[in-house]
A and B are shown apart, each in its own frame.
Chain A
Amino acid sequence: MQLSDSWSPSDPIVSIKNVHKSFGALEVLKGISMDIMKGEVICIIGPSGSGKSTLIRCINALNDIQSGSITVEGQEVHDPALDKLLLRKKVGMVFQQYNLFPHKTALENVMMAPLLVLKEDEDEVEARARKLIKKVKLEGKEDNYPGELSGGQQQRVAIARSLAMQPDVMLFDEVTAALDPETVKEVLVTIKELAADGMTCILVTHEMGFAKEVADHIYFTDRGVIVEHGSPDVFFDNAKDPRTQEFLSQIL
């Protein structure tokens, strides 16, 4: 089932056109446009406060927009008539602070949404959840509570939890920013495998090495606009805009 009948897989799965977003008088997105094809991995980078996180939160309608258009599988996200729940079944999201449910075990965290939201059969969901936990290499941790897991482990449970809804697009909002350096890698490996499986991924990240290696396309945003974008090779080696050059020189 797809969100809109007029959409075909050769069209962009996520299409953002001239999006403006303000918090009161503060305009954080000033006309952002990008197209993301099915199976692509997109990294959005830029200094803090540049509107990256706000942008991806607009894609699953956690934030609303003032003007412009965002479509997912051809369906306008900010159409007031749209059932937001329908959209969020298609678009999974992983947060910086994992946000696991602390009163549920790892397995229960993964199973909750399919059971309650999709109302799927419990045995099926459990089988799928166990497979996903295996996929994020947390076998044996099924019955642990989030408080008993490391940050990296919690974040991988959070990824499995999102995948359990079988979304078509995954959003990652600085998912490694809160992690210890040694656990960052395990989370990045998980995302890399996900990308290799053909999942459409939109990441906001500060991990330049990862972006270079995995991304199909890189967007650099600053103060609410896309300053520069391109494939990783072109972007990292031949940045044209002085703002991009300055940012890269600071971070690399």
Chain B
Amino acid sequence: MKRLNSNQNHGKLPVLLSVKGNGSHAYNSMTMVNWLASMPWWTPVLLMTALILWPHVAWAGSNYTAGDALDALWRWAPFLIKSGFLFNILISFLVLAVGTVGGVLLGLGQISLSKPVRAVSWFITQLFRNSPWLVILFVVMLLVPYEIKLFGYNFFFPDWMKAVFGLSLPIIANISEIVRGAVQSVPNTQWEAAEAMAFTRNQTLWKIILPQCFKRMIPPWMNWYAILTMATPLISILGVEEIVNLSRQAIEAEDNHPELLIPFYSFVLILFFAYCYPIARLTVRLERKFAVKL
């Protein structure tokens, strides 16, 4: 087997071989954004055209035409965007806010001088980074009560709040890793120089180290925003009325014609694409820009 490989590679030194050619894949957290950004902008249009034409053929015998289906979509679209998609975007902002604050704190915990703090932060990070999001959502849904009585006050946790919390956990963990990685990418000598000039650890971290790696954190941070935005429909299974949930309700209101499924869900797909595609392109551009500089 080894012999065969070396023949195929025409005796090139191993270091000269492309990684892809070897069939091994290095893990790259930016894969999703890179893939999205690599698509031409008209991809969903092409996809939708094909999908709309298909039921035309499939249900040619039915009275309900693709024209009727599109008509229904046309009537529902403003409601789906306003009450559905914008709500998804709102959720994504909330998750990003909670995830960023929590992730930065947890990331700083991972580089803390205190060993217990470091260990706990590392454990939380790994736990939520490596758990399926859906499982996390279910656990949060079942464990967090609707109402908590504390010091004589009633605190309510409606479903959307639990959903934000549940989606935030994996984001917190991933942003924690971004922060840890970025801080550790700054050469040790910077810490040393600051130490020799009597800076305290906090001053060094906030005035010298973090400002240097701030730029480096932006592309992966945006990458996670795109991922989490596309994950917001997950909360539909928790009963939160976001776009996928409302689309299903709309289809039901239109007498559950199967011809409606493809136009309605394709519409959802296009909305997400239209929102995330520019973010992905910008992320990839920023990543290249910051990678060259540094």
List A residues at the B interface (Cβ < 8 Å): 60, 62, 84-86, 88-89, 92-93, 95, 97, 99-103, 112-113, 116-117, 161-162, 165
A85 in contact with B189 given A101-B208, A101-B212 (CB within 8 Å): no
CB pair A62 B196 closer than 8 Å: yes
Residues of B within 8 A of A84 (CB): 198
CA–CA, A113 to B192, complex, Å? Answer: 14
Q: A117 and B193: CB pair below 8 A?
A: no
Which of B190, B195, B196: most chain A Cβ within 10 A?
B196
- On whether the beta carbons of A88 and B195 are closer than 8 Å, the reply is yes
Q: A85-B200, A88-B198 are in contact. Are A62 and B207 (CB under 8 A)?
A: no
**Complex contacts, B184 vs chain A, CB 8 Å:** none
Contact of B203 with A by CB under 8 A = yes
Interface string of B236-248 (1 = CB under 8 A from A): 0000000000000
Residues in B neighbouring A60, C-beta threshold 8 A: 196
* Chain B residues within an 8 Å CB radius of A62: 192, 195-196
CB of B145 within 8 A of chain A?
Answer: no
Interface residues of B (CB under 8 A from A): 189-190, 192-200, 203, 207-208, 211-212
Q: Is the interface of B mostly helix, strand, loop or mixed?
A: helix
By the criterion CB–CB under 8 Å, are B203 and A88 in contact?
Answer: no
Nearest 6 A-B pairs (CB), nearest first? A99-B193, A88-B198, A93-B196, A113-B197, A85-B198, A99-B189
Closest residue of A by beta carbon distance from B203:
A116
- Provide 15 A-B residue pairs closer than 8 Å at the C-beta atoms, listed in order of the A residue: A84-B198, A85-B200, A86-B198, A92-B197, A99-B189, A101-B190, A101-B212, A103-B212, A113-B197, A113-B198, A116-B207, A117-B197, A117-B198, A161-B197, A162-B197
Inter-chain contact A88/B190, CB cutoff 8 Å: no
A60 to B193, CA, bound (A): 12
- Bound-state Cα–Cα, A89 to B195, Å: 11
Distance, CA A187 to CA B203, complexed state (A):
29
Distance A1 CA – B218 CA, assembled complex (angstroms): 45
- Chain A nearest CB: distance from B98 CB in Å? 28
Residue of A nearest to B199 (CB): A117
- Give the chain B neighbours of A97 by CB distance below 8 A: 189
Distance in angstroms from B46 CB to nearest chain A CB is 45
B213's nearest neighbour on chain A, judged by CB, is: A103
